[in-house]
């Protein structure tokens, strides 16, 4: 799990699988971003092979809090397997999915300041 800042956007890059065994690391990365006052979060899925319901639950658990603070959680660079999971469960309607990390970061810049 890598977490870094690109301007005012926190980019979280999980690697491999997010499942019951690894979900705590993912949850900690999101928690840390919020504790540090970063509400613009982009999950870069380029290294993500699979996300189980535990990982989806973490996103669901955080998205309301993040949006209440004026931010959002967006996704980028999902492989077909992960994108299909998001699509089947309707997460593509809950979270904006972008083709690249650059597009994800730029999508935040295109918004007026709140």
Q: What is the pLDDT of residue 92?
A: 87
> Is the per-residue pLDDT at 113 higher than 60?
no
Q: Give mean pLDDT, residues 35-45.
A: 97
Per DSSP, 107 falls in state H
Beta-bridge mates of residue 85: none
Q: What is the pLDDT of residue 112?
A: 62
> Is the per-residue pLDDT at 114 higher than 60?
no
Q: What is the pLDDT of residue 111?
A: 67
Beta-bridge mates of residue 74: 42
Q: What is the pLDDT of residue 110?
A: 78
For domain 2-107, give the CATH superfamily: STAS domain (3.30.750.24)
**Alpha-carbon distance 10 to 8, whole Å?**
7
Structure tokens that stand for 56 in this block: 């989806």
Give CB contacts under 8 A, 24+ apart, made by 107-113: 107/74, 108/8, 108/9, 108/40, 108/42, 108/72, 108/74, 109/7
Q: Which residue has the higher pLDDT, 112 or 33?
A: 33
Question: Within 13 A of 20's CA, how many CA atoms are on the CB side?
Answer: 0
Question: What pairing do the DSSP bridges indicate for beta strands 48-51 and 16-18?
Answer: parallel
Report pLDDT digits (tens) over 48-105: 999 999 999 999 999 999 999 999 999 999 999 999 999 999 988 999 999 999 999 9
């Amino acid at each position: 799990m890598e977490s870094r800042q690109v301007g005012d956007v926190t980019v979280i890059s999980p690697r491999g699988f997010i499942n019951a065994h690894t979900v705590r690391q993912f949850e900690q990365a999101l928690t840390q971003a919020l504790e540090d006052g970063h509400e613009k979060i982009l999950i870069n899925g380029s290294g993500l092979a699979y996300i189980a319901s535990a990982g989806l639950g973490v996103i669901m658990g955080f998205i309301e809090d993040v949006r209440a603070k004026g931010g959002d959680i967006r996704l980028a660079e999902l492989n077909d397997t992960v994108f299909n999971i998001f699509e089947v469960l309707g997460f593509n309607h809950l979270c904006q999915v972008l083709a690249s990390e650059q597009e994800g970061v730029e999508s935040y810049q295109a918004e007026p300041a709140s």
